[in-house]
Amino acid sequence: MQDLIKKAGQVKLLVMDVDGILSNGQIIYDANGIETKAFSVQDGVGVKSLARYGILTAIITGRSSAMVDKRATEMGVNYVVQGRDDKLIALKELLSSLDPELNITAADCAYMGDDLPDIKAMQTVGFAATVPNAHAEVIKRSDMVTTRAGGTGAVREVCDLILKGHGHYQDFIAHYTLDETQAQDELS
C-alpha cells in the first residue's frame, strides 16, 4: 500500500473515463430516446477535494453527452474531452494544450479507465487505476483496482489515495470533523 500512496503522491492531474468509471457504465434511454446516466455524489466530493489542493482533473470519454458537461461543471473538472475513441491521442493532445508552466507530463498523471479503449492511455501515465468489474486486460495493466465499482465511489477511492500521497488527507478530513473538545462543546 505504501508504494501506491507514494505513486499517488506524484499525481498532478487525474484523468477519468466516464462510462464505467464516473457512471456505472449503463446507458439508459427514456421513451423519447434521451440518454441518462447516474453519478456518485461521493466521487464529486473527491474530485472537489483534489481542486482544494491544486491537483487538476480531466475527463476523456468516447461518447458525447450534455450530462457529462453538466456533471463536470458541478464537480469543477478542469478539462473535458468528449467524443474521442482514441484515448491515448486525446491524452497527448490534452497534455500538449496545458500551460507549460504547469509542467505536467504523462508521468505526472493518474488515469482511471475500465475498458480496452483506455489501456494505451493507462500504459503511458504514472499511475493507472480501474474498477473491479473492468475488463481483465485493464485490470492486468493497472496499479490499483478500487473496491467500489464505477459510479459508486470508485473515483473517490483514488482521490483519497492521491490526497494521502500528497500528505493532505488528514487536513481534508479535518474540514468535516470536530476534535474531541469541539464535539463536547457542541453537546453542551
Measured in degrees and rounded to the nearest 5, phi and psi for residue 35 equal -80, 140
Distance CA 186, CA 78 (A): 37
In this prediction, residue 37 carries a pLDDT of: 87
Are the CB atoms for 90 and 113 separated by under 8 Å?
no
Are the CB atoms for 164 and 2 separated by under 8 Å?
no
Instruction: Identify the CA nearest to 58 among candidates 25, 23, 82, 35.
Output: 82
In this prediction, residue 155 carries a pLDDT of: 98
Look up cell 466521487; give the residue.
43
In this prediction, residue 188 carries a pLDDT of: 59
In this prediction, residue 27 carries a pLDDT of: 85
Q: Model pTM?
A: 0.93
In this prediction, residue 182 carries a pLDDT of: 66
Instruction: Identify the CA nearest to 94 among candidates 107, 115, 108, 80.
Output: 80
Instruction: Identify the CA nearest to 21 among candidates 114, 111, 126.
Output: 114
Q: What is the pLDDT of residues 122-138, one digit of tens each?
A: 999 999 999 999 999 99
In this prediction, residue 35 carries a pLDDT of: 84
Distance CA 159, CA 3 (A): 16
Which parts of the chain register pLDDT below 50?
none
Are the CB atoms for 124 and 13 separated by under 8 Å?
no
**134 burial class (0-12, 13-18, 19+ CB within 10 angstroms)?**
buried
